[in-house]
Structure 1
């Protein structure tokens, strides 16, 4: 079945998020967000720093809960789930990529990816084939036995992406994954995302303020002052 026939993977319905600042005062960070993430699509949340992109991404991944509204993953309201159930969801269904690469410096690229499979509880018999596959998808098969300090920033980020998809998540969330990279390296990251989507029909949602990347997305949501606004 084609990805477009599966229906939404994740829906955000009238989501608000506020945080206490002092006494009874609160600051509203998200103000009535509505969006949909489809399987097999690259969705970008674009906007300036402070627009609410990272806060929204944390809600999508079950790392935080909305003050109001619904986060619906595969038809279930995950904003109502227990912390334990959300932990299982993240371990099995969601991958995360951040600006910092979070690689273990003494391990090779291959060993970093394999370690993520061990931690996810993937059967041992699948480790080698899946690790090789993930490094191939991000274009690093020939750099598999290099340690992080022997890799460029763009290569380290691609190893982090390979780690994040190793357990075959349905959704990959990436917070400004190209922010520390030059234009050429950023383009390679987006190319890796497109290859991963084509090969595995994963949904990818990333935040960015880089206008040179927007044309590569299937869907773009413009954020400003905690709202989705016309692009």
Structure 2
């Protein structure tokens, strides 16, 4: 695993992203420079529409920049083919979205197993790894419950367990606490801190919730498509 001493796990250099709205060009990102270090919790803070989600999608290879570079482990993520990006997302990068993205007919345990199946992890390793991840997020006793039998906070913790099961180097989370009350949001961030410490996974998340910023190792403030000084 990449260490902080070896340089950033992910770097964003001069990123610009534009879209066409009819005949008008809309500049969403305007020259972003930032990095994410291994074993750190990084937050992108800013209001809705500031460009946080667009930036996160570029960092995970879900979209491509109009200009600039996205380097993952010093490799040009933005230049890779869709096939290569798919492999990297399954093995080295995990995602958490506002919608919990759990399959409703599967139990918590089975949802986490699905991540291991997609990453090609040998079945002989599933039982131990699933147990480890559910324990890490405090859901050992809820392993055989389906999403409809879990609270919103519990579903989000299953989503975290699922996202880290295949041991990614980087976890990207888009407003993971947006649909939760303040108490549950704090619990989710506590889980993130535990994941960073126990698994040495780098986490980069977006949020507009000012009560969470103090838990981060690094905070980038985004305003109108730019990163501005704190």
Which TM-score bucket, shorter chain as reference?
over 0.9
The residue that corresponds to 2:92 in the other structure is 93
Q: What is aligned with 2:229?
A: 230
Aligned mates of 1:27, 1:2 — CA distance in 2? 36
The answer to whether the 8 A contact 2:18-2:66 is kept is yes
Equivalent in the alignment of 2:123: 124
Does the aligned pair in 1 maintain the 2:137–2:158 contact within 8 Å? Answer: yes
User: Residues 2 and 38 of structure 2 are in contact (CA less than 8 Å); yes or no, is this contact kept in structure 1?
Assistant: no
Distance 1:175 1:53 in 2: 8
What TM-score comes out, normalization by structure 2 length? 0.97
Which residue matches 1:208? 207
2:2–2:9 Cα contact (<8 Å) kept: no
Q: CA deviation at 1:163?
A: 0.5
CA distance in 1, matches of 2:108, 2:21: 42
1:1-231 correspondence to structure 2 within 5 Å: 3-23=3-23, 25-231=24-230
* Aligned alpha-carbon RMSD (Å): 1.2
CA deviation vs aligned residue, 1:76-104 (integer Å, no higher than 9, x gap): 11111111111111111100000111111
Gaps of 5+ in 2: none
Distance between the aligned counterparts of 2:162 and 2:2, measured in 1? 26
Determine helix, strand or coil for the equivalent of 1:101.
Answer: coil
Q: Look up the SS of the partner of 1:222 in the other structure.
A: strand
> Structure 1 residues 207 and 33 mapped into 2: Cα distance closer, same or farther (>3 Å)?
same
> TM-score, structure 1 length as denominator?
0.97
Q: Gaps (5+ residues) in structure 1?
A: none
Aligned residues: 230
SS, match of residue 19 in structure 1 = strand
CA–CA separation in structure 1 for the residues paired with 2:3 and 2:76: 21
Structure 1 residue 2: Cα displacement: 8.9
Deviation digits for residues 145-195 of structure 1, max 9, x if unmatched?
Answer: 111111110000000010011111000000000000001100110011111
SS at match of 2:171: strand
> Per the alignment, in what secondary structure is the counterpart of residue 8 of structure 1?
coil
Deviations 1:9-47 (A, max 9, x none): 000001100001113x21000000000100000000000
Aligned residues of 1:3 and 1:201 also touching (Cα < 8 A): no
Equivalent-residue separation in structure 2 for 1:163 and 1:6 (angstroms): 28
Local SS of the residue matching 1:11: strand
Check 1:198–1:77 CA distance in 2 against 1; reply closer, same or farther (3 A cut). Answer: same
Which of 52-61 and 110-119 deviates more? 110-119
Mapped contact 2:39–2:196 kept (Cα < 8 A): yes
Structure 2 counterpart SS, 1:204: strand
